[in-house]
Amino acid sequence: MQNILNDIILSNKKCTANGKVASYIPELKNANIDDLGICVIDKDNNIYCAGDYKKKFTIQSISKPIILAMALMDNEWHHVFSKVGMEPSGDPFNSIMKLETNDTKKPCNPMINAGAIVTTALIKGKNLQEKEERMLSFFRKLAKNNSLEINKSIYESEKLTGDRNRAMGYLLKNDGFIEGDVEETLDLYFKQCSIEVDVVDLARIGLLFSNYGIDIETGERVISENISRMVKTFMVTCGMYDASGEFALRVGIPAKSGVGGGIMASVPRKMGIGVFGPALDEKGNSIGGLNILEDLSNKLELNIF
């Protein structure tokens, strides 16, 4: 396995030159475009890492499946899906269009920004501070890493420039899809996106979903089987935004990307995978990350279809 990962990193290093580091959140511009790293944790808890696996980056949209799991644990699922849909949008992650043109005006799914703002509003807590503490401790539990923290400068940069998300938040409130204070919901949304991780954290989280919510080391049930299955299903249908269909055809693994350059992948009953490469394609997915996962899927026959 180690040799396979070393080879895959080497052979994909060149393709990072074809992408661009996200710049719409000013702080993200500081990433190194050439970085490429991977971590695989298999069902026997063997950990394999290669490339720039020690680099830290913000989780960004990879927080969306985790927040969905939390919203489903905090609420009846009928309530959650009365506020957010179950269908791929076919639009970019930050699109606002279908909030007006859909019959229901409901966000299409929880993997796009509008849907994630709704699931964030469903997180329970008596005030913002308690919600933030619950959220961070849930991420730490899933990653089995108590040192996870919010990157303050990225959070501030997101908050300062997040007017598109802000517009969606107010529209969603107006249409009855979020209750309570919009600014508070957005604050929690910007904070979840700004949690700093590495590929080992992502592989750990992917492994938990791949094992249907049971911690492989301790046997503890962290997330129900049903919620783990729902999250992986959304990762297949919507995890790579408007590139989800092509990714399912080429790679065939439940996965979720973020504009920080990370991708978290979860191969049912087999392994969790974390990859990182901040050079993004035009849809906001890591170019190196996509290629690495395609090669790995072919080499190890990981395609679930």
What residues are designated binding site? Answer: 61, 113, 158, 165, 189, 241, 259
Question: What is the distance between the alpha carbons of residues 165 and 36, in angstroms, rounded to a whole number?
Answer: 29
Q: Smallest gap, in angstroms, from Cβ of residue 92 to ligand DON? A: 9
Write out the binding residues for substrate: 61, 113, 158, 165, 189, 241, 259
61 is catalytic: yes
Distance CA 125, CA 133 (A): 9
Distances (CA, A) of 71 to 47, 64, 88, 109: 30, 10, 19, 13
**Which member of 16, 60, 151, 228 binds ligand DON (CB under 6 A)?**
60
Query: Is 182 an active-site residue?
Result: no
- Residues 206, 266: contact at Cβ < 8 Å? yes
**What is the closest distance, in whole angstroms, from the C-beta atom of residue 7 to ligand DON in the complex?**
27
**Could you give the CA distance from residue 59 to residue 276 in angstroms, rounded to a whole number?**
10
Spatial separation of the C-alpha atoms in residues 139 and 63, rounded to whole Å: 9
Out of 5, 193, 271, 302, name the contact with ligand DON by CB under 6 A.
193
Does residue 197 carry a catalytic annotation?
no
Distances from the Cα of 51 to the Cα of 3, 48, 98, 210, angstroms: 12, 11, 40, 24
Nearest residue (CB) to ligand DON, 48 versus 241: 241
Nearest approach, Cβ of 284 to ligand DON (angstroms)?
4
Active site residue 191: no
Residues 84-103 within binding reach of ligand DON (CB under 6 A): 93-94
Query: For residues 98-157, which are near ligand DON according to CB under 6 A?
Result: 113
Residues in the chain: 305
Query: Both ends of the chain: CA-CA distance in Å?
Result: 22
Q: Per-residue x/- marks for ligand DON, 245-274, CB under 6 A?
A: ------------xxx---------------
How far apart (Å, rounded) are the C-alpha atoms in residues 166 and 76? 26
Q: Which of 66, 120, 115 is nearest to 93 (CA)?
A: 115
**List 55, 64, 131, 232, catalytic entry:** 64
CB nearer to ligand DON: pick between 60 and 95: 60
At 147 the three-state DSSP class reads: coil
Nearer to ligand DON by Cβ, of 36 and 154: the residue is: 154
Q: Shortest Cβ distance from residue 43 to ligand DON (Å)?
A: 28
Does 75 contact ligand DON by CB under 6 A? no
The 3-state DSSP class for residue 180 equals coil
Active site residue 259: yes
Q: Which is nearer to ligand DON, 7 or 246 (CB)?
A: 246
Residues 211, 217, 219: CA angle, nearest 5 degrees:
65
Q: How far is the CB of 196 from ligand DON (least distance, A)?
A: 13
Which tokens go with 177?
């899809």
Coil, strand or helix: which one is 36?
coil
Measured from the CB atom, the residue of 119 and 211 that comes closer to ligand DON is 119
Nearer to ligand DON, 85 or 284 (CB): 284
Catalytic residue numbers read 61, 64, 189, 241, 259
Residues that bind ligand DON (CB under 6 A): 60-61, 93-94, 113, 158, 165, 193, 257-259, 284
